[in-house]
Amino acid sequence: MPDPIQHGWHGRGYLPHLDFRKATQGVTFRLADSLPAKVVARLKAKLAEEDASAELRAKIAAYEDRGYGECLLRDPENAALVEEQLRYFDGKRYELLEWVIMPNHVHVLVRPHSAMVEQIVQTWKRVSARKINERMGRRGAVWARDYFDRVIRDEVHRVKARRYIRHNPVKAGLCREPADWRWSSAWEERRL
């Protein structure tokens, strides 16, 4: 039976996850409609035949940045609900190191304390989905079933992951500077 505090490699679908308590991880989760169904099927097939290469991750990120789908997080009230969930256990169950809420996906750099990344992401998605659906008077899936995660190997990797998260809204053409994007830790730091 896997150790609930440190269970290493595991999977709940087509993506493998490596989860260790207190290991900093980069996490991306996206809205259920952020990738066209035919693209999801093609990417699943590629994941089955090869390791999740940097090239494949780049293709997925490019689709996300195109703003495909309804982009529920473009609505400031929905983005605020997600931000509220990201912050809820910050400093208790985990340390939120960097984050950005894009129109159809979220990037987070997180260091767990007393919970596994899987539990943290499930809570973020479950509670924010319920609140978004209540607010919009609707039902159904808000988030895609799985998420992407990557253990941060060292300081160089942490700096690169942080830069990627900060510059995602700039790269997607949503703002000129990272601190201009309201739904980010970069914007929050500018305010302080």
Helices and strands of the chain, counted as H and E runs: 6, 6
Domain enclosing residue 56, as ranges: 14-151
> What are the C-alpha distances in Å from 68 to residues 27, 35, 36, 53, 145?
20, 6, 8, 22, 17
10 Å Cβ neighbour count for 84? 13
pTM score = 0.79
**Half-sphere exposure of residue 45: CA atoms within 13 angstroms, side-chain side:** 6
CA 178 to chain centre: 17
In-domain check, residue 61: yes
Give yes or no for a contact between 73 and 102, defined as CB atoms under 8 angstroms apart. Answer: yes
10 Å Cβ neighbour count for 66? 13
- 79-124 pLDDT, tens digit per residue, is 999 999 999 999 999 999 999 999 999 999 999 998 889 999 999 9
Strands 25-30 and 148-151, by their bridges, are: antiparallel
Q: What is the CATH number of the domain that holds 107?
A: 3.30.70.1290
- 16-54 pLDDT, tens digit per residue, is 445 556 789 999 999 998 876 666 667 666 655 555 566
In-domain check, residue 174: no
- pLDDT at site 23: 86
- Report the run of H or E that residue 17 belongs to, with start and end: strand 16-19
In-domain check, residue 128: yes
